[in-house]
Chains A and B, each alone.
Chain A
Amino acid sequence: MERRTIFAGWVLPVCLVAPQLLLTVFFFLWPAAQAMWFSLVRQDAFGIRTEFVGFENFADLFADPLYLDSALRTVVFCTAVAGLAMGTALLLAVFADREIRGRAIYRTLLIWPYAVAPAIAAVLWVLLLNPQIGVVAHALKSVGVLWDYKLNDTQAMIVVILASAWKQVSYNFIFFLAGLQSIPKTVIEAARMDGARGWRRFRTITIPLLAPTIFFLVVVNIVYAAFDTFATIQALTHGGPGKATETLMLKVYRDGLINLDLGSSSAQSVILMVAVVVLTGLQFRFIGRRNAE
């Protein structure tokens, strides 16, 4: 159903669209254009001399082992966060989909973490995991695990993955629950009549019918893990120890705002922008094709 409003003049429609347009221009188009320009130039640290260097910044990046390390680390991080967040959410959604007492409360509680600001969430995790005062850390030490994510690379990675995935579980949960509820009950019942039980029914009926939801969430989760976890990681580890948790997003920030290498930092953000465009395009194409069927 299409609803259209025909405006008589142009003043009102412009006023209505202007706030959104202004936001887009000031907070996206302008910085994006600036980033693209900076990615093609080289500037000294004080911004006095500017030299056009073409794609040299990009070429430098792809030859830089530190950058490639960070890219690989990001891939590992994204995969782990997406996998953990989606797996946990699916499990919770399957349980919440059943007829259980008090499920309204249960579902509401599961959605709450989504409303917690990233930095606050990180503080919660710090309180749990801090090597000196953390409850979990204390428990781990009492069973003999040497726990200090501020010194141990692997432990640091585990901490940022856990904290980031936890934030995203709620979001995934909502979509999985909606997806599960949109599967016709009689289809599941038909499978029961056909003798399919438990895991087998889940694998051959539920998962294929959830496929569109799963694909959508894979893209959203990868984008989230790559771009939206900055605050969480920054608050927990600052990308450390060393560079153990420095994802591409943190590297952009560190190279640009701390090391003041604007050219390289801009080139990195342009690469990330292209990645988002590709992911989103893929998703739109896939969803468009499904709707056309």
Chain B
Amino acid sequence: MATLELYDVRKSFGATAVLHGVNLALNDGEMLVIVGASGCGKSTLLRLIAGLEVPTAGRIVLDGRDVARLDPAERDIAMVFQNYALYPHMSVFDNMAYALKIRGLSRDDIARRVGGTAEMLGLGPLLDRKPRQLSGGQRQRVAMGRAIVREPKLFLFDEPLSNLDAKLRVTMRAEIKRLQRRMGVTSLYVTHDQVEAMTLGDRLLVMHQGVPVQLATPMEVFERPATTYVAGFIGAPAMNLLPGVLCQGGMAVDLGRGMVIPFADGKRDGVDGRKLTIGIRPEHIVLDPAGMMLQIDLIEPLGSETVLIGRMDDGELLSVKVPGRAPAGEAIRVSFPAAMLHVFDAETGLRLG
């Protein structure tokens, strides 16, 4: 159990800068999820904290001690790898006992701790097996057990569920959350899967091209995305992003097609004609007989709801999520509730208000 702080951590591989200065503070016992598309630097950040890579600049402070240049062995951090990275020549027991043996614990202590952890994870009957005799889910559990049994200061998870099938992933996700809560170990979890990110994290860090874009609770990220990138990345189907211009002295946006929507939460800065990007989530668009015409292009039924992908009169696509079945007909009329609009600057992509 520990706190972790990063101060302006940077990493370059040769001339390629991968991380452009990350600042971050994790509270004791917190689960922070780092999410982003592949290549955003999230795995590199995790490896820097683990000690598998050395940062080009910056400080990594674990429990008040700068560990940025220490060997992983001196950091007391456990990591769960994407491909589990179990030792293929060792039994489940030996896999879990390895770190304890290195630390010179007595035989009895090791047996007791491995036994206890195995019990907790339901690995008891598998202790004598070799990794190749285990299923994917069981290997995942052993990888977790190997981290837990050490009682480390910090847990790192590097996309631990991405090699599992969809159903198992949901089960293991819940299990990881329960375990983390129960043990209260400060954890960092890297994923590209937004569902994992939303469900697991106490807080989310969204990364884009080596820069942290937003750090907030999952609901805050969903409700008030800081940039158009975050807006498009979190939420499925993705948020619709439409061009618009500021009008009526900053009190409304003109989306073209005769749609002028007054802001529900007040004035935005800037002169009329300032270019904006307006975001609206598919589930917030409402069917409205007086609204804009939308030609249905594609229908994706999800069971309890249906995603309609329609074409506006200028050919641009718009997705709409409606409860229940798709409405009849080849076209629908929709409108955008003013309170549900997200307003961003078109140039910088930053949220306005």
- The segment from B79-87, B229-237, B275-283, B345-353 found at the interface with A is B79-87
Q: A192-B73, A193-B50, A209-B88 are in contact. Are A184 and B83 (CB under 8 A)?
A: yes
- CB of B102 within 8 A of CB of A194, answer yes
- CB of A191 within 8 A of CB of B79, answer no
- B64-95 near A? 1/0 per residue, CB < 8 Å: 00000001110001110111011111000000
- CB of B78 within 8 A of CB of A193, answer yes
A200 to B98, CA, bound (A): 11
Closest to A186 in B: B85
- A183-212 near B? 1/0 per residue, CB < 8 Å: 010110111111111001000110011010
B271 contacts chain A at the CB level, 8 A cutoff: no
Which one, B82, B83, B87, B150, contacts A191 given CB within 8 A?
B87
Q: Is the interface of A mostly helix, strand, loop or mixed?
A: helix
- Which 5 pairs, one residue from A and one from B, show the smallest C-beta to C-beta distance? A194-B99, A186-B85, A190-B85, A195-B73, A208-B89
**Chain B residues within 8 Å of A194, by CB:** 98-99, 102, 146, 150
- CB of B98 within 8 A of CB of A196, answer yes
B52 contacts chain A at the CB level, 8 A cutoff: yes
- A251-290 near B? 1/0 per residue, CB < 8 Å: 0000000000000000000000000000000000000000
Q: A191-B98, A194-B99 are in contact. Are A186 and B72 (CB under 8 A)?
A: no
- CB of A197 within 8 A of CB of B87, answer no
- CB of B79 within 8 A of CB of A196, answer no
Interface residues of A in 170-194 (CB under 8 A from B): 184, 186-187, 189-194
Closest to B103 in A: A195
Which residues does B use to contact A, with CB under 8 Å? 50-52, 71-73, 77-79, 81-83, 85-89, 98-99, 102-103, 132, 146, 150
Which one, B78, B81, B99, contacts A189 given CB within 8 A?
B81
- CB of B73 within 8 A of CB of A187, answer no
**Chain B residues within 8 Å of A191, by CB:** 87, 98
A276 to B71, CA, bound (A): 48
- CB of B89 within 8 A of CB of A190, answer no
- CB of B103 within 8 A of CB of A190, answer no
Q: A194-B99, A195-B103 are in contact. Are A189 and B89 (CB under 8 A)?
A: no
A191 to B87, CA, bound (A): 8
Closest to B133 in A: A293
Closest to A187 in B: B85
**Chain B residues within 8 Å of A193, by CB:** 50-52, 72, 77-79
- CB of A187 within 8 A of CB of B87, answer yes
A200 to B73, CA, bound (A): 12
**Chain B residues within 8 Å of A196, by CB:** 73, 98-99, 102
- CB of B89 within 8 A of CB of A197, answer no
- CB of A187 within 8 A of CB of B79, answer no
What are 5 inter-chain pairs, A to B, with CB distance below 8 A? Answer: A184-B85, A187-B85, A189-B85, A190-B146, A204-B98
Most chain A CB within 10 A, of B78, B83, B85, B132, is at B85
Most chain A CB within 10 A, of B71, B87, B150, is at B87
- CB of B87 within 8 A of CB of A205, answer yes
A293 to B130, CA, bound (A): 11
